[in-house]
Amino acid sequence: NAGSAAMEEGEGLLSVDYEVFGKVQGVFFRKYTQGEAKRLGLVGWVQNTSHGTVQGQIQGPAARVRELQDWLRKIGSPQSRISRADFSNEKEITALEHKDFQILK
């Protein structure tokens, strides 16, 4: 598939915002998300919201961002129950805007 091959070559950087719904607070979701992001070499942040969801931003190589998106959609932390994950504001960036992956209070 020529389209995906082109993406691989440039391995462009992506930035995407996310919000995860379900039983995702009080289950170490933020800690596991941070761990997974670091394992994949991604930067960004994660925080709990006042309405019971977890939200944040991911930045890094497109293929790795896709991996974390899958993880947020299907896996999460061991005790979590994910009903859905929404992604928005996806865009290509020329440089990372975060130094690492932080848990925000």
Task: Report the catalytic residues.
Answer: 30, 48
**Least-confidence region, from 7-16, 39-48, 73-82:** 7-16
Tell me if 5 is assigned to some domain. no
- Residue 1's pLDDT is 39
List the domain range (segments joined by +) for residue 55: 13-103
Indicate the average pLDDT of the chain. 92
How far apart CA 23 and CA 5 sit, in angstroms, is: 37
Tell me if 2 is assigned to some domain. no
Q: Which two tokens stand for residue 80?
A: 């979590």
pLDDT in tens, 18-53: 999 999 999 999 999 999 999 999 999 999 999 999
Tokens 């896996």 sit at which residue? 75
Strand bridging mode 43-48 / 101-103: parallel
How many domains is the chain partitioned into structurally? 1
- Check which CATH number belongs to the domain holding 19 and give it: 3.30.70.100
Tell me if 3 is assigned to some domain. no
